[in-house]
A and B are shown apart, each in its own frame.
Chain A
Amino acid sequence: MEKHVVVIYPHPDDEAFGAAGTIASFREQGVPVTYLCGTLGEMGRNMGNPTFANRETLPEIRKQELIAACKVLDMELHMLGYRDKTIEYEDRREVATHLKNILEDLEPSLVITHYPEHAVHPDHNALGAAAIEAVRLMDREKRPVVWAQAITNTHVEDLGMPDVVNDVKDKFDIKMDAILCHKSQASGVIRSWNQSDDMDNDLKEEAKKRLGVEAFYIWKYK
């Protein structure tokens, strides 16, 4: 059994869409889970549908959504204070050291993050790279295992089959509850997957097609 799991993603809602089922399974086993959330998604373009946020109110709205989602998933939350879309411009080593200090404090047995260069959003790639670097900077015997999540359309042909494939359909209700905590984002994100206009109005069914499995690659340190 894991001792403590730390999830490191840049945006409020990455945890819900990417790993909520896996997180719920760990919590069911009594494993503590902490989310290190990089930004408040300040520059998101989804403003709710119908629109209820604006560029200036979005950060606080997403912060409250994040807090609610972490409550649903019963995990601790630590906000890292970076700004949406800018993580790749921060000093990689500085971000890695920031994360390393937190990891040394929490002593997780497992870290979940994005797979650098295979995670679509520049913030995903940059924070994933910093998280992997943070673990590399730790004493070898104290390093947690790292699960890296790739989300490009071509990640299987680029990287092979993921090492960890979690079927989370039995956790789908709680996963959907976590996703729907992100009210300003959920509808827009789910609808964006389907470019045609004939999409099923049932967001949950549409989500299940895509989000029933959470897969990760185990990072191999040389």
Chain B
Amino acid sequence: MKPIELDVVQQKLESFIDKDVYVHLETTNGAYASHVNAKAYNVGVYIRNAKIRFNQAKIVGDGKSYRAGLKMDIGWVYAEGLTDFEMFQGEKLLMAGHDREGRLMVALQISETPFNY
């Protein structure tokens, strides 16, 4: 993946508007968070291949870290802390936020075809 280029990602997000798309949305601090640090909490969530449709999409950020919001008819998809992106297999938009050790903290991925499961 490479650092997010706002214009490129914004354009790609808009290409998915008003289409049925599959979303992978995730955040995690690792299965060992409270094992290696008693004061930490294990927190994680992911949803893979949720089929959604959105009518507005925007990515916003300060050049280092970005937020993406997708507006649906009756709700929102939101991800904060995105740093990197990649067009995977030409058609899947992968966005992720990594910490300084390169560990994934958050991911938002959108595709017109399902992700492997």
Contact = CB atoms under 8 A, between A and B. Distances in A.
Do A and B interact?
A: yes
A121 B31 contact: yes
Interface residues of A, number: 27
Given A153-B35, A192-B36, A51 B116 contact: no
Which of A48, A49, A55, A59 gathers most chain B CB within 10 Å? A55
B65 to A, nearest CB: 15
Q: How many B residues are at the interface, by size bracket?
A: 20 to 34
A68 B105 CA distance: 27
Given A45-B28, A55-B109, A191 B101 contact: yes
A203 interface: no
A49 B101 contact: yes
A193 B1 contact: no
Interface string A41-66: 00101111111001111010000000
A55 B26 contact: yes
Contacts, number: 70
B88 A51 contact: no
Interface string A128-153: 00000000000000000000000011
Nearest to B46: A43
B34 to A, nearest CB: 9
A77 B17 CA distance: 45
Interface of B: 1, 24, 26, 28-32, 35-38, 46, 84, 86, 88, 92, 94, 96, 98, 101-105, 107, 109, 115-117
